[in-house]
Each structure stands twice: as C-alpha cells, then as structure tokens.
A = this chain, B = another copy of it.
Amino acid sequence: MHWLTLERNDADALMKQLYRQLRHAVLEGRLEPEERLPSSRELARLLGVSRNVVLEVYEQLAAEGYVAPRRGSGTFVAPGARYGLPRNDAPSSGSSSEAGAEADLVDFRTGVPLLREIPWKTVARSFRRVCDRTPSNAWGYGAPEGTPALRESLARFLARSRDISCSPGDLVITNGAAEALCITALLLARQGKTLVVTEDPVHLHFQQTLRLAGTELYPLSVDEAGLRTDELPRNVRPGAVFLTPSHQFPLGGTLSVQRRIDLAAYAAATECLLIEDDYESEFRFEGLPVSSLRELVPSATVYIGSFSKILSPALRLGYAIVPSHLGEDFRRIKYDVSNHTSSMEQRIVADLLDEGVVERHIARMKRFYREGRKRLVRNLADAFPGRHEIRSAGAGAGLHLVVRFPGLVFDAERCSRIEARGVRIHPVEGHAIRKGHYGEWVILGYGNLSFDAMDEGVARLRAALDAEMA
C-alpha cells in the first residue's frame, strides 16, 4: 500500500484522502477484486493515523459496494467495481461574457435600459425591509403563479399605468417574458397546436422560444400600422397569433384599431389564441399608453410583460395575464418548467411597486430616453443628410430607432467591417423570417448609451458608411 500518501491536516481531511485513494485504487484495478485489504489496525499503524479514520473509510467503501467485509476474515475488494476511470482535468473553454476587449466599442444594442441609472441602493433597502417583515415560513416553496403580494401589487400597477383591468388570480409571475412565451408554446404543443402566426420581422428570440416546442411559424408582413391582418391565413387554422401590438419589434408600428378588431374576429372564428407581447409599451414619449389588445379579447389573449426594461434585465422578472380557462394548465406547466419564480425577487418588486419606486423610475427614465432619441435623430440628420430614412419616426416610443441607408445592404461582412471601426449596429434582417426585404435597414438602440457614446457612435458610423460607399 506504498502508493497511499496522506497529507497531514485535520482528521476529516485525512479520511477524505484515504477514501478517495482507496476508491480510485479499486476503480482503476490497482486493488484487485477479492484482494484482501490490510486490517484497520494494520493500515492505521502503517499510515500513522487513528484506527477510527480507517474504520470509517472502510465502512463508507462497504456502504457504496467497493469493498465487502467478511466476518472473521477481514475486508475484501468487491467484484465488479473495476472501471477505467476517465480523466476530467482538461479545462474546457469557459466563455467569458464580461471580456474587457469590447471596452471601446459603441454598441447600438436594443432593449437594454440605461444601466447606470438603475436604483440598486433603493433595491437593497427594499430587500432589507422585505427580510424584516417576511415570516420565515414564507421562504419555502411557493405557488407556481407567484406570491399573492406581487400579483396584487402588479394588478394595481397595470390598472394605473396601462389601463389594464385584471385580477391577481389572472396573473402568473415568470422568469422574464421569455419564460412566459415558452410556457405558452409548451401549452399550445400539449394541445397539439403546432402552427403559430407571427409578425415578420419579429424579435429573433421570440421566434426561437416559440419554436422550442416544435412549433412552426407562419410569417405575416408588418407595416406602419403593425401586423398586416389582411394576410391572416384562411386555409389553415393556427394555434395562436403572436404579436407586439403596442410597439412592434423591431419596426416600431402600433397596431391600428381596425386590425385589432380584425384579429379579434379572426380569433373568434378560428378559436385561436392571441399572444400579446407588450414590448416596451412603457416608454411612449408622446400621448397616452396605447391600449392593450387583451382588452378587446380577454378570454383569448395571453398578455406578456416584463420588468427587464422598466427596472433591470438582471432581475429576470416577467408575467403573463392568462385567460381563466387556460389558467390551470399554464400554472401547471410553469411548475414543471421552474417550480416558481424567486420569492426573494417577487417580494422585492412588490415592495418597489407599493412604494411607488417603479413608477417614479419609469417617469425619470422616459425623460432620458426622450432626450436620447431626439439627440440620435438630430445626429443622424447631421451625419447623413438626405441619405437615411427613419422608420415610424413619428411614434416616439421605445429604446431604438430603425433606420434605412438606401444603397447599402447590411450583410454580415459589412457589419463586421463597420464594427472594426468601433461601432456595432444590428441589421433588421437578423429578425426577419423571410429574408431579403429589409437589407438596407438597421436597428440603433440608444437605451444604454450616454450622450457622448451616442455622438461618438454616430461619428464612427458616418466614417464607416463613407468608407463603404467609397
């Protein structure tokens, strides 16, 4: 047993070392089946350790089947315990997403709020309050639909800010909007419904999540008034129509009331579900919030919202308003997918809603985004006079602009060359299901850019596009 080498530490560590080495010796075949192990007294003397250490290790090895004690004759290596143990010490490449290499890049990324303004100190204070007043038994497993406290606060918030009337019992709290969509897709799949009508273009992430359960997408075009309802299929019956009616992503249109009514009639005639992702509806800079599609057809609409833009994507808190006849299935699938959403986050956000923090933050951020948007529009006008077109420019909403540069197609190579000049833009084609219609259009997100970064980004973009056109 000369190969046993123990490092002197405390008793527990010795035991661990001995256990590990004997185990490996059995697995590797160094200790052969039926081989007799030294008696515990003998091995303890040999290693200079207490006999109890050896006894405990032998017991453990016996319990797991590596060795077998035989009354009166000692401990033997058990048969069938030899195994070529594979090595697992080659480090696999951990992908680090916090690389510093991108430090100087101006990324016109969409959907990211102004991160430096997230009121974390307020959130931390809220957490302390929550810890103080939550009874310990509330920190176990919760209901799949979420804590009553958050659902009640959220229902009031939606009534105040979105003119949405729903009861707390209609709400299911999810891990971001993505999970709400995932659950809906799984629910449809369970009903055998595998065809979903969507806007085209529409956020690539939504496409992927809908496809998770094997769903096929049926793309309809989008114009300034949103989804082209005249293209709704009459020959096939989809399980659902997915859309972003308040502020179409990425093109920015608002679904007109005529089309809303078309959709409601369509849903009634085909008995399909409407899935309304209320994307960035909170950041409308002019006028009042657009009404929800759900209001027209509450019994057939799954409404999806999230706190990612209005608080922080770091929270991963979303929700769905679910028609009552689907409520039980929806909650059951939520339970199967992830049990329930973090009670810690739910209680914090309920507190932030009750204290008015969320609404004050939205109001404050709107001013930033309104200014940012104006500045970006002006910068583009200065940099590309007569050489660009802004889509849905009138509808001041959201955290991005969609811009066309006639004569330039933004394929992967072009985008790489532009990025090499220190600015990243996002082609609309990346979100198109049917390719080839939006080649000249790009998305410029301004939510998380300081004014300086934005100015610099447009200057770099101008230099890059001048080079492209040269």
B344 touches A63 (CB 8 A): no
Contact partners of A169 in chain B: CB under 8 A: 91-95
Q: Which residue of B lies closest to A324 (CB)?
A: B92
Whether a CB of chain B sits under 8 angstroms from the CB of A412 is: no
Report Cα–Cα, A115/B139, bound state, in Å: 6
Q: Which residue of B lies closest to A169 (CB)?
A: B94
Q: Which residue of B lies closest to A146 (CB)?
A: B97
Report Cα–Cα, A69/B81, bound state, in Å: 85
A residues near B (Cβ < 8 Å) are 15-16, 19-20, 23, 26-27, 56-57, 59-60, 63-66, 78-83, 85-86, 88-89, 91-98, 111-112, 115-116, 118, 120-121, 123-124, 127-128, 131, 134, 136-143, 145, 147-148, 151-152, 163, 165-170, 174-176, 178-179, 182, 186, 189, 205, 208-209, 211-214, 225, 254, 256-261, 264, 287-288, 290-291, 295-299, 308, 312-317, 324, 327, 332-333, 335-345, 394-395, 448
Q: Which 10 A-B pairs have the closest CB atoms?
A: A94-B169, A65-B256, A97-B143, A314-B343, A60-B287, A80-B258, A116-B136, A175-B338, A92-B169, A91-B167
Report Cα–Cα, A400/B332, bound state, in Å: 25
Q: What are 14 A-B contacts with C-beta separation under 8 Å?
A: A65-B225, A78-B258, A81-B257, A83-B260, A83-B264, A86-B296, A88-B166, A92-B170, A120-B134, A124-B131, A141-B313, A208-B332, A212-B333, A312-B344
Which of B138, B147, B182 makes the CB contact (< 8 A) with A336? B182
A394 to chain B, nearest CB (A): 8
Contact partners of A112 in chain B: CB under 8 A: 140-141
Which of B19, B98, B297, B298 makes the CB contact (< 8 A) with A138? B98
A19 touches B136 (CB 8 A): no
Q: Which of A83, A205, A225 has the most CB of B within 10 A?
A: A83
Q: Which residue of B lies closest to A210 (CB)?
A: B336
Which of B59, B91, B314 makes the CB contact (< 8 A) with A140? B314
Which of B79, B128, B260, B339 makes the CB contact (< 8 A) with A124? B128
A212 touches B225 (CB 8 A): no
Contact partners of A213 in chain B: CB under 8 A: 186, 213
